[in-house]
Structure 1
Amino acid sequence: MTEWVIRSPPGAGGSVDQVEIRRRRLSDLPECVRVLREVHEADRYPDRWPEDPQAWLLPDADSWIAVTDGRILGHVSLVDRDDALWVSRLLVRPGTRGQQIGELLLEAARTRGTLMLDVIEHSEHAIRLYERTGWTLIDTRPANWIMADGTRPVEHIYTSN
């Protein structure tokens, strides 16, 4: 994917009027970790703070960031898993939510073709984002991992078709 600049449509809400979606560079990782910290503190995502947050952000993955005025607002990676391309590590800086950053990152990711993603059922804001942007729920099942509190979450599986 080439780098592109997207202007948020009038009346989209928030104060961001120009967002650049571009490939993430290794030099972006320290600020991406700061965004991850803000998301973790606001939403407990990820459920456990990673021992190596830069590695958790998949430095070798096909990843993009949303940037405005030199500030990273969001992040998304795509990973090959189970013979499909999966959305992973979608983050939006808490103070910039409601400004279509998640939508723009998903739009950029979808240029790669049909995608899959999973989300745990208590992530209601993320689920609303996926359904509002045309993702289709194809499965609901217990996750194959345990949360920090010892419970096994239920995850929803979506496709971009």
Structure 2
Amino acid sequence: MTRFVVIFLLCIGAAPFLPGLIESRLDASGRGYSASEVEDDDTGERTHRISLNRHGHYVADAYLNGRAVDMLVDTGATLTALPESVADDIGISLSPSDFKHAVGTANGTTYAARAVINGLRIGNIRLRNIDAMVLKDSSLSGPLLGMSVLNQLKRFDISSGTLVLVQ
């Protein structure tokens, strides 16, 4: 009887971790797509949908160089923009002398460093060698997914509160 109680307690302890383990295994095998991630067998297109959040913004759950990063989709940004701390987290190392490009932001003019994001994944959409700019944390509160990403897609459109990305 003690053996069954121990097994039961182990099962209860492991239960909260099972969904994450299953999701990671499916994602690693490339087979586990949610309803917002679809690959069309006829065309070979990869589609990902992003719903409008409660603040009226589209926020992508992205992976930059393998690290999870929430990015605000900004069609007004020519390049994808990262705060320096995020760039450092994803393996982009910069020196103070790299911040030499004057850029205009909503908060005025500041200086940015050019960078390349080696890999970006949003759902099942995967892109490589993304041109980006890195700004000091005081100049940019969060990462922006700009046109340097969106222009690499086959298309993107917005309808009924959903941003649809197609690769």
TM-score, normalising length: structure 1: 0.23
Which structure is larger by alpha-carbon Rg, 1 or 2? 2
Instruction: For CA contacts below 8 A with separation 6 or more, give which structure has more relative contact order.
Output: 2
TM-score, normalising length: structure 2: 0.23
